[in-house]
Amino acid sequence: MVFASLAFIFIILPLFLAGDFVARPAKAGVWRNIWLVAVSLLFYLWGEVANVFLLLALGFINYWAGRYLPKSGRPRFWLAVFIAVNLSVLVGFKYLGWLAALLNLYIPVITRLPLGISFFTFHAISYLVDI
């Protein structure tokens, strides 16, 4: 679903705004964030159900990495590890078929890409680098 679709404009956007309007007077920032994540997942599920667990797993991994990096003794090393994890997911889904054909390897390849995999990967990397 795109942002200019009628389903987004008349279902997802009003749903988000209603929840935000209810939570705003209570100054409940945590509930507003939970509501934002829930409506965002609904928006993602509307477009593609199959890979929502991949998106959630990457989100939890990067959240955990963001909490761990400042406390680690070697933040540059762990930053490189978490960037490699994010890029390996991107390469695995987007470029594994091309690499397998280039090297004449038979590797079963997923032909349907997760929706927004590049967007989420590069935003996760940006988040980790900013920390």
Give me the pLDDT at residue 75, please. 92
Task: Tell me the C-alpha distance between 96 and 82, whole Å.
Answer: 20
Give me the pLDDT at residue 88, please. 94
φ, ψ (nearest 5 deg) of residue 33: -65, -40
Q: What is the pLDDT of residues 40-57, one digit of tens each?
A: 999 888 888 888 999 999
Flag whether pLDDT at 1 surpasses 70.
Answer: no
- Where residue 15 falls among pLDDT bands split at 50, 70, 90? very high
Choose the weakest-confidence range: 26-30, 78-82, 83-87.
26-30
Q: Which helix (H) or strand (E) holds 125?
A: helix 117-130
Global pTM reads 0.80
* Contact status, residue 127 vs residue 59, Cβ threshold 8 Å: no
Q: What is the DSSP string of 25-81?
A: TTT-HHHHHHHHHHHHHHHHHHH-STTHHHHHHHHHHHHHHHHHGGGSS-HHHHHHH
Q: What is the pLDDT of residues 99-120, one digit of tens each?
A: 888 888 887 777 678 888 999 9
